[in-house]
Amino acid sequence: MITVHHLDNSRSQRVLWLLEELELPYDIQFYKRDPKTMMAPKSLQAIHPLGKAPVITDTDGNVTLAESGAIIEYVINKYGHGRLAPACDTPEYIRFIYWLHYAEGSAMPPLLLKLIFGMLPKQAPLPFRPFAFLISKGAQVQFINPQLKLHMDYWEHSLSENEWFAGNNFTAADIQMSFPLEAAAARAGATDNRPHVRGFLHRIHNRPAYQRALYRGGIYTYAHNASESVP
């Protein structure tokens, strides 16, 4: 039995969605962010030394595993039986592997930088806030926002060629890519003048398994913010 150690408003929502798509039984251990720091509670360190979500434990094999991409590969390889992944000898499989790892390796860093620099003025001591604001604005205008635009335009182009990221069939790569697109829709206007990004979000939010994962996992702010941008 798989247990998902699920942190509210986090990447672990994707793992719940994955398991719902595969119709696998699973349990959820819920964790709440610290209301001041918005960090995961230290109790997660009892499960994994880094104390971050997502983490799964699988009693079938005594497995404890972190990292979204690793979890997705483990689950579909062990329990997918050919579902949610293209055949290994196809061009779609190459795209599948690429997007599965691109999501965290390339897409998320500028989004995290935007979040951190956006919080910087509020976190600085009061006398230094004007300087922190200038630093934050400069970093976002000069570097972060152009990088985000580059990535968001890349998503739009890629989704204009195929309905899903790996091709014309829905795969676990789309589950992995959902978080960057939802976060970018909420923080960086990813759906503005990008109809294919909008369409992708609309399609995933309408999937029954996605809705079941929301029901089981609880409030998920990014889905709400992203869906507001969908007509």
pLDDT in tens, 149-197: 999 999 999 999 999 999 999 999 999 999 999 999 999 999 999 999 9
CA atoms within 13 A on the CB side of 164: 22
* Domain residue limits at 159: 91-207+223-228
**218 lies in some domain:** no
**191 lies in some domain:** yes
**35 lies in some domain:** yes
**216 lies in some domain:** no
Alpha-carbon separation of residue 94 from 18, 72, 97, 140 (angstroms): 20, 16, 5, 33
* In a shared domain, residues 104 and 153: yes
Task: Read off the CATH number of the domain in which 7 is found.
Answer: 3.40.30.10
* In a shared domain, residues 105 and 126: yes
223, 224, 155: which is closest to 190 by C-alpha? 155
**The 3-state secondary structure of the chain, one letter per residue:** CEEEEEECCCCHHHHHHHHHHHCCCEEEEEECCCCCCCCCCHHHHHCCCCCCCCEEEECCCCEEEECHHHHHHHHHHHHCCCCCCCCCCCHHHHHHHHHHHHHHHHHHHHHHHHHHHHHHHHHCCHHHHHHHHHHHHHHHHHHHHHHHHHHHHHHHHHHHHCCCCCCCCCCHHHHHHHHHHHHHHHHCCCCCCCHHHHHHHHHHHCCHHHHHHHHHHCCCHHHHHHHHCCC
Q: What is the pLDDT of residue 8?
A: 83
Global pTM value: 0.91
- As for how many domains the chain has, the answer is 2
Give 231's pLDDT tier (boundaries 50, 70, 90).
very low
Q: Is the pLDDT of residue 123 over 80?
A: no
**180 lies in some domain:** yes
Q: What is the tens place of the pLDDT at every residue in 106-122?
A: 999 999 999 888 877 88
Quick one: tokens of 189? 């206007």
Distance between first and last Cα of the chain: 39
